[in-house]
Structure formats: C-alpha cells, structure tokens
Amino acid sequence: MNLPSVIRKPLIAAILGALTIAVPAGALYLAGATRAVATTAPSAAMSSGATGTSTAASPATPAPAAAGPATMLPDFSSMVQKYGPAVVNISVVSKVSTSWSSGDNPGDDSGDNSGDNNDNPSDSNPFGPNSPFAPFFRGLPFQMPQPQPMRGEGSGFIIRPDGVIMTNAHVVNGASEVTVRLTDRREYTAKVVGVDPKSDIAILRIPAKDLPTVRIGDSRGLKVGEWVLAIGAPFGFENSATAGIVSAKGRTLESGYVPFIQTDVPINPGNSGGPLFNMRGEVVGINSQIYSRSGGYMGVSFSIPIDVAMQVGEQLQTTGHVTRGKLGVVIQPVTQGLADSFGLPQPEGALVSSVEKGGPAEHAGIESGDVILKLNGTPLKDSSELPVQIAAIAPGTSVKLEIWRNHARREITVKLGTVADKRTAATGGPHQEGGRLGLAVRPLTAEEQDANTRGGLVVERASGPAAAAGIRPGDVVLAANGSPVHDAEELRSAVEKSKGHIALLIQRGDARLFVPVRVG
C-alpha cells in the first residue's frame, strides 16, 4: 500500500485536514501568548512594587510624584540657626502702687468709725498718727500705697553689635527694671533709650559688644502671599519659630501712624517685639498685635513694617523722642455714596470732615468737604494712607496736595506743623519717658483748669521712683520742693537741683499732698 492510496482513504484524509488547520492556529496562539507575557510582566512588577511585594520595582516614577508637594514647602532651619541668636528675651518688672484709699479699714465689720485712729496707724495720715499734721488728714481719701511688683515678658532683636535692641513700646512701658537674656543665657540690665507709644517702638541698650545682629530688609517689597517667619518667646518659650504668609498690607489700626502688615503667623503673648523675617532672612516687620476674642492666637496677626520702625528708632537714638509732621485735619474714607455726592469718578482719597482752627491746613486754605487725592504727586487710594505719609515727613516741610473741590481738581501747598508730643519729661534716663523720676507729664489745658487748680502738670504715665512713691496717671503736679511748676522745664530744673529726694505737691481730686520721690 503506497502513500497516495492511504491518503485517499476518508479517515486518513480527515485527520490530515484537521492537522493542517490546527498547526498554524496553534503557532499563532503561542506567538500571541508570548507577546502578552512580555507586555504584562513589567506592569505586574510595578504594581507589586507599589504594594511593597517587589523590591526591584520600588524606585519607579510614582514615588517622586508623591513627594512633589512636600519639596515646595519652605525650609526655615538655616535661617533660624543663623539669625536666632540675634533674637532676645525681655523680662520687665513694674512696681504699680495700690490705689490711695480712704481711712476706713476694709477689714473692719463693726461699722464703728468713731474709734481712735491710732488703731490703724496707716489710715489716712501718711506721716503717722502722732505727727502735727494728723488733724489735717482725718477723713481725707489718702492712704500710702504699697507698691506691688508686676512682671512681664516679651521679645526683641539686636540691630547693632554694640548692644542696641529694638522691641515694642508696650513691652517695656512703665517698667522699673528691664532684663535682656540672650540665647547663650547671658543676662544684662537694659537701659531704655527711648519709647514711642504712637508707633509702639522702643529702643534698648545693653553693655555688650560684638553681638550677633539681624539683617534689615525693605518691607515695601513684601508681597501678599509671601512666606514669612517669626521668632520670639510665646508664653516665655524662648527662641520659638513660627511661620505663615502675608495676608494683607497697609492695615490701619487705632494709632493711625502705622500701616500694619497682616499675617497668619501664630503670634501669642511673649512674641511682641520679635522680628518677622522674609525668605531672604531679612527683617521686614516687628510682631506687635493680634486680633483675638480669646486672648490667644486666632489666625490674624499684625506686624509693624521695618521701614517705619527704623525711622522711629533712629530718632529715638538721636534725640530720645519722635517728631511727626502735622496737617491739621480730620479725615474719613470716601465711600461710593460720598464719591457720587461729590462728583468723583471713583471712591478714592481722603475726605476732610473738619479742619483744625489755626492749623497748617486752615492757613493753606483747605476746607471741610475737600477730598485730598494726591500727596506730592502720589495718589491716595485709601484715606488711611494720608496720616501715615504725613507723619513720616519732617515738620516745617512744604507739601503739595491735589484736592477735589466743587467738581474740579486744584493744587494747594501746605507747610506742615508738628504733632504735639505729650511726653515732656526728660528722656534718656534709666526710666523711659520720665528721666530720673519716671514721670510723663503735660501742661493742664484751659478746660482742665479750675478755681482750685491753676497751672501745674498732668501726669500721663508714672514708672520707676514716681510709681513707687504712689504717683499715678491723672495726678496733677503743682509744685516741686515748694516752687510752683508750670512746664516740664521747671520740673526738670527742680529735679536736677535735688539731692536724694524731691517733694512734689500732688493734687488728686479735691485733696492735696506732698509726696517725697526718690531721685533716680
């Protein structure tokens, strides 16, 4: 039986036909399966690596993608390490006297006030029950106060290597003792060179040399949304760093002289006076205030721009006080309704609501109802910009104002006056604002004078020896060592001539009393 005859058999032919179809189909199937394995194996490996089952695929591309957002966050560690030593902790002690009270004993429940006053020798008579003046003090509302020490803390930063430090005025205001502590735990008793409550800036000096300093920047270049860093001592935790962004600029609070920087940097009690850094490591502000309904941080903090602070600080170091230009007007914002009423194209500038009688603005011809649009050619977008810019100009300088009056623009030149500084006691002494006595005084106004009080000086603030002796704000200094005083120069002259103590005649209400004050 040959091959052709076998093939022609029906069964054999069917088998051969089936093989002819199956072999190519099987080859195609095997080839497709091989390509599928080559394609899916890397994917399976990466999937296993993502779940931690394969170490070979772990450095795949998804890992860097997941780490991308973290690399965009700023790293302040080098900045804190470099400039942290220039940030100091400030501790203050103030002696605040208790109120001068009546001669009644608050602990006596008997209700009998007719007994012998010798039972309570401290009542009413500061000279003692057996003094010849005792009859004159019976029933008077005087009692020698007992000074109570009060302590507080804040922050500051070194601006000069010879020991010049900048901080907030409210940190050291009224302090009888100021201690500065460095990060290396060295402590110094600081001298208050000058204080300016209007801008909340104070300058201190410590007896040290070659100290680390901060680098002063330019707050005008600060942008909203920019990262900033604060270093201070919140709640006494020294050299603490917190960060956030600039939320807004040019915020005007109660003082009117400072265009505050608003941030969301966590600021708490103890941070006051500390520096605010930008990402270049430059100080752009001084942490000053927070907006809070709880007394703690609530997401809104305010810092004094370093440009304003340095301008004030230079004057404090040079003269001990700050002079500011004065226009002599009361202004208000221009709303859309007011702009429509005055015919302004848009709400801008500062609306003059009243003009000080005899002030610089009145002499120049400014009237109530004028809208000040430009100062020396610079547009005023908001009314809050005007007092800030005027205060930064030296008194006696002539400025050009573009105003809107009767639906038309016009220019007026005004020679600025000087903002009255009520701090008239000697500066530069060991107690800020008050020289050797620790007193900040001003002359009585015409409205404050009456038949019993002619002349004299009203006490604005008392610290140091004056506060320890019981003098407090609102008292009127009538005489020093028996000589009437009408201005600060007469008081200063009397202090210079005194040795050890000076006797001040004080009027409080309807009562008068000589108070001996130690001369610092």
Q: Which residue has the tokens 């002690």?
A: 93
Q: How many residues can be counted in the chain? A: 520
Nearest residue to 455 via CA among 471, 443, 442: 443
CA distances from 32 to 18, 28, 29, 228 (A): 21, 6, 5, 61
Q: How far is CA 420 from each of CA 351, 417, 434, 484, rounded to the nearest angstrom?
A: 23, 9, 17, 24
Contact 275, 286 (CB under 8 A): yes
Which tokens is 303 given?
Answer: 């810092």
Q: Which of 257, 264, 195 is nearest to 429 (CA)?
A: 195
Q: CA 243, CA 277: separation in Å to the nearest integer?
A: 9
Is 170 annotated in the active site? yes
Q: Sign of the CA dihedral 126, 128, 131, 136? A: positive
d(CA 159, CA 161): 7
Catalytic residue among 47, 54, 170, 493: 170
Reply yes or no on whether 501 is catalytic. Answer: no
The rounded distance, in Å, linking the Cα atoms of 39 and 128 is 106
Q: What's the token pair of residue 366?
A: 């400014």
Short-list 202, 195, 200, 172, CA closest to 257 = 200
Say how far apart CA 520 and CA 518 lie, in whole Å.
Answer: 6
| Contact indicator for 129, 118 with CB cutoff of 8 Å | yes
E-strand spans in 306-438? 325-326, 329-333, 350-355, 371-375, 378-379, 398-405, 408-415, 417-418
Q: Which residues pair with 435 in a beta bridge?
A: 431
Does 431 participate in catalysis according to the annotation?
no
**CB 232, CB 273: distance < 8 Å:** yes
Cα-based distances in Å from 146 to 73, 137, 417, 426: 54, 19, 43, 26
Rounded Cα distance, 17 and 464, in Å = 119
The closest of 419, 441, 429 to 322, measured between CA atoms, is 419
Distances (CA, A) of 85 to 82, 92, 190, 449: 7, 20, 17, 52
33 backbone dihedrals φ, ψ, rounded to 5° = -65, -40
- From the candidates 91, 196, 199, 200, which is the catalytic residue? 200
Helices (DSSP H) in 345-463: which residue ranges? 360-364, 385-391
Choose, from 91, 176, 199, 272, the residue flagged as catalytic: 272
Question: What is the Cα–Cα distance from 141 to 77, expressed in whole angstroms?
Answer: 59
- Give me the active site residues, please: 170, 200, 272
